[in-house]
Amino acid sequence: MTGAATPLSAALSGKRAFITGGGSGLGRAFTELLARDGWRIAILDREPARLADATARLTALGAAAVHTYSADVTDEAAFGAAIDDFAARVGGLELMVNNAGVAVAGAVVDTPAADWRWALEINVVGVAIGCRAAIPHLKRAERACLLNIASAAAFASAAYMSSYNASKAAVVALTETLAQELEDSNVHAAVAMPGFFPTRLLDEARAPSAALAAARKLMTSSHYTAERAAADMLGACAARKLYIVLPRSYVKLWRLKRYWPAAFMRLLSRTRRDALAKRRPAA
């Protein structure tokens, strides 16, 4: 497809996509790329204000149709009904992107059970609900992709990020399970494990102020962007990759963790000690 915004537009010719958390950040970047190739797009987001300009914005970029849904991914009835409604309106579904997520930080002993439940319910159960609702529609397409957004936190289990790390590792395990369950079907399952780049993930994060400040510094200092991440992820889906680790510099870390986990843990420990040393005032 000459001049296409993403090679996935040629791979999934029906060009019908449902994206959660599509009102901002990475989700918005997905929608804008797909709109440029004339996809019919559904966006689900908890914030109606984020959806208000989506139809006009994406239509102006070239989207064939835009449908918006204000709902929480943990609301199984509302989430499932939104997917069913979109598929019925446009005649099917080729791409499901489970992108919505939240962040929690803090020491294990300081993170309340309520924050654990909040993170796991949205980051894991919400993804599972999206998968369960979308798969029957995806299976009816000639060819389809189910993309779950995890994080590099799934393998780089940094200190003071326990509930977030665990939730994203669970998304990887869920997608690996689905890859096996769907391997004889027309549906390709993929999981993305991106590193830091600027998004609105921290806007509602539950974390000590120091942890939030450190995370924001990493985000703002990253030269990787949501737009680049979305393009890379969709390209990897077109290539039918299961694991999508990005940016490229993170691939070495992922391989180190998989093949030499003890060495990786020593690297994490050393990196954390070095960072702490830099923060201490000189004697």
Which distant-in-sequence residues (6+ apart) come within 8 Å of 274 by Cβ? none
Measured between alpha carbons, how far is 157 from 225 in angstroms, rounded to an integer?
A: 22
Of 92, 61, 67, 63, the C-alpha closest to 82 is 67
Active-site residue flag, 164: yes
Pure H helices in 126-200: 126-139, 162-181
Instruction: State the catalytic residue, choosing from 69, 160, 164, 250.
Output: 164
> What b/e string do you get for 26-62 counting C-beta neighbours within 10 Å, with b at 16 or more?
bbbbbbbbbbbbbbbbbbbbbeeebbeebbeebeebe
Tokens encoding 281: 């005032």
Consecutive H or E run containing 194: strand 187-194
Q: Which residues contact 184 (CB under 8 A, 6 or more apart)?
A: none
Catalytic residues, which ones? 164
